[in-house]
Structure 1
Amino acid sequence: MNYQEIARETIGYLYQSHASIRRSGLDNTLIALAELRTSQLNGCSYCCSFHANELREMGVSQNLIDKIPGYQHSVSFDEKQQLVLQWTDAVCSLSPNLEKIKNDLGKLFSEKEIVELTASIALMNALNRLRITLGEKF
């Protein structure tokens, strides 16, 4: 189903929100990292491929991208990347650790950055679900 065409205005607003997040001032590499992790958790093959390619184009090594699913057991991620991945997991699962991780984020990120990052994760969850349920198989 071509959901993007069928509901052009509604879906367009979602993509406008995505563009706004990308212009927010938060490091786009961290946003793409969260978007890839969200897509991995949701099992959206199209979005996983898209965001992995995007990270490579941003200069992130394939070696680091390959380690994202096991980031909890890796020393390859810097402190910000590690927190972004932890936050992504917590937001996607509505973890009981949300407050602790949010407090940790507050040590390295501004409130605006935390809101933009969280909006990015929430939006990617919605986009993943649209793609998985209504999009063409990839």
Structure 2
Amino acid sequence: MNYKEIAKETIGHLYKAHSSIRKSGIDEKLIALAELRVSQINGCAYCCSYHAKELLNFGIEQDVINRLPGWKHTNAFDVKQKLVLSWTEAITYHNDNIQEIRERLLQYFTEREFVELNASITLMSTLNKLRITLAEED
């Protein structure tokens, strides 16, 4: 189903929001890392492939991308990246420790960056679910 064409205005607004987040000033590598992790959790094959290639284009090594599912058990990610991944999982899985992670994130990010990061994660989850439920399989 060509859902992007069927609901062109609505879906277009979602992609405009995504573009706005990418232009917000927050490090695009962190956004792409979070978006890949959300896509992995949600099982969106298309988005996993897209964001993995995007990270490669940003200069992230393939070995680091391969370690993403096990990010808690590797030194391949720095403190800021691990906080972003922790937050990504907390809000995607609806974990109970959201407040604790939020407080740590706000030590590294401005309120605006925090809101943009949050918007990115939640929007990516929406885009994953649209792709999984409405698009043809890849």
Compute the TM-score of the two structures, normalised by the length of structure 1: 0.99
Query: SS state of the match for residue 83, structure 1?
Result: helix
CA distance in 2 between counterparts of 1:48 and 1:76 reads 19
Unmatched 5+ residue regions in structure 1?
none
Following superposition of structure 1 onto structure 2, how do residues 105-120 of structure 1 map, counting pairs within 5 Å?
A: 105-120=105-120
Identity across matched positions, percent: 57
Q: Is 1:70 the counterpart of 2:59 in the alignment? A: no
Match of 1:34 in 2: 34
Following superposition of structure 1 onto structure 2, how do residues 4-23 of structure 1 map, counting pairs within 5 Å?
A: 4-23=4-23
Query: SS state of the match for residue 95, structure 1?
Result: coil
CA distance in 2 between counterparts of 1:76 and 1:5 reads 40
Q: What amino acid is the match of 2:99?
A: E
CA deviation after TM superposition for structure 1 residue 76, in Å: 1.2
Q: What amino acid is the match of 2:88?
A: T
Residues 33-69 of structure 1: per-residue CA shift (max 9 Å, x gap) = 0000000000000000000000000100001000000
Aligned residue pairs, count = 138
CA deviation after TM superposition for structure 1 residue 75, in Å: 1.1
Backbone CA RMSD of aligned residues: 0.5
Residues 77-119 of structure 1: per-residue CA shift (max 9 Å, x gap) = 0111100100000010111010000001011111111100000
Compute the TM-score of the two structures, normalised by the length of structure 2: 0.99
Unmatched 5+ residue regions in structure 2?
none
Query: SS state of the match for residue 106, structure 2?
Result: helix
CA distance in 2 between counterparts of 1:12 and 1:102 reads 30
Q: Is 1:2 the counterpart of 2:9 in the alignment? A: no
